Amino acid sequence: MTRPMWHWPTVLLLILIAVSPAAAEPKRVLLLHSFGPQFVPWVFFAGQFREELFKRSPYKIDLYEASLEGSRFQQPEEQGPIVAYLMSLFGTRKLDLIVTIGAPATLFVQKYRAQFFPSTPLIIGAPERRAINYTTLTANDAPVAVALDFTYWIKSILQVLPDTTHIAWAVGASPLERFWTEEFRRTSQPFSDKISFEWFNDLRFEDMLKRVSELPPHSAVFYVDLRVDAAGVPLDRDLVLPKLRQATRAPIFITSTVTSGQASLAGRCCPARRLGEAWRKLLFVS
């Protein structure tokens, strides 16, 4: 059964619990990042959330931020230390609201939530909808998800460049990126009779640059996201796309409007503006 990304009874209950007038104590809010606060597109979603939270809250806010830095390299079973850190931080402090940003933070909280803060209201912010375990949602949870249509991306490339015969997926080697690589492979199958595909998740960034410089005619590069390469090197989002663009003559397509200022071709994008509107609806009744 398909559940909506959020529904108003849940949202209203969440609002009442999260901002009920308890007293002079500030409302403690935990903002949990998936990789770190600087990663696109989540850095923009987190910024919108902070803005709406402080602008609209009738109460003082005590905002805590933590990051699952190890998500770029670790498997979920290696995340015990962050659980211990959060339990020590909030063991004696009442936490009024948890907000996750991105899929790894969502998966982390849904996995460990029964061990700590089981009744604390939760806003699940900006994961792809397939990253949410809807069977574990409670009445205190409100997901604000994005939907990625991989088939649409391929069709968009072909609509703009109908002569395309090869697509290189620029994607990294973190556990999350490897998960999505398998989704890209599955989605690409119906087009394999006309288009050949390759994936960069097993390459060092230097090898990616060499590879895009050698792409055959009628190729396109689809820039999904590059957070860490196959050598385990974290990649700077402000440098990766310009370097790819300098290294290749092939057009580069991207997934998000937040990077389109770098003059690549954008397909259907992650709705950063719509998420900002969702924050306003979720947090406080105007």
Question: Where residue 256 falls among pLDDT bands split at 50, 70, 90?
Answer: low
Take residue 68 and report the two structure tokens written for it: 């699952």
pLDDT tens digits for range 98-157: 998 888 888 888 888 888 788 888 888 877 787 788 888 888 888 887 777 888 889 989
Q: Which of 157-171, 253-267, 270-284 has the highest mean pLDDT?
A: 157-171
- pLDDT of the residue at 21: 52
- Name the percent of the chain lying above pLDDT 70: 74
Provide the 10 A C-beta neighbour count for residue 22: 10
pLDDT tens digits for range 54-102: 887 888 889 999 888 655 554 555 677 888 888 888 888 888 889 988 8
Question: Where residue 246 falls among pLDDT bands split at 50, 70, 90?
Answer: very high
**Which residue reads 């574990």 in tokens?**
136
Name, in order, each residue with C-beta under 8 angstroms of 112's C-beta and a sequence gap of 6 or more. 79, 83
Q: What is the dihedral of CA 89, 95, 99, 105, to 10 degrees?
A: 40
Provide the 10 A C-beta neighbour count for residue 147: 11
Task: Give the distance from CA 163 to its chain's centroid.
Answer: 32
Say how many residues make up the chain: 286
- Phi-psi label, residue 63: left if phi above 0, alpha if psi -120 to 50, beta otherwise: beta
- Within this chain, do residues 138 and 169 fall inside the same structural domain, yes or no? no
- Which residue segment(s) compose the domain that 69 sits in? 8-147+271-283
- Within this chain, do residues 116 and 157 fall inside the same structural domain, yes or no? no
CATH number at residue 193: 3.40.50.2300
Burial of 80 (0-12, 13-18, 19+ CB in 10 A): exposed
Task: Give the distance from CA 146 to its chain's centroid.
Answer: 9
- Within this chain, do residues 140 and 159 fall inside the same structural domain, yes or no? no
286 pLDDT above the threshold of 50? no
Cα(172)–Cα(170) distance, integer angstroms? 7
Cα(109)–Cα(112) distance, integer angstroms? 5
- Within this chain, do residues 19 and 133 fall inside the same structural domain, yes or no? yes
Provide the 10 A C-beta neighbour count for residue 206: 12
- Within this chain, do residues 137 and 197 fall inside the same structural domain, yes or no? no
What's the domain count of the chain?
Answer: 2
Helices (H), the chain: 8-19, 42-56, 80-90, 103-112, 150-160, 175-188, 205-213, 237-247, 272-283
- Within this chain, do residues 163 and 233 fall inside the same structural domain, yes or no? yes
- Residue 29's nearest CA partner among 122, 141, 118 is 122
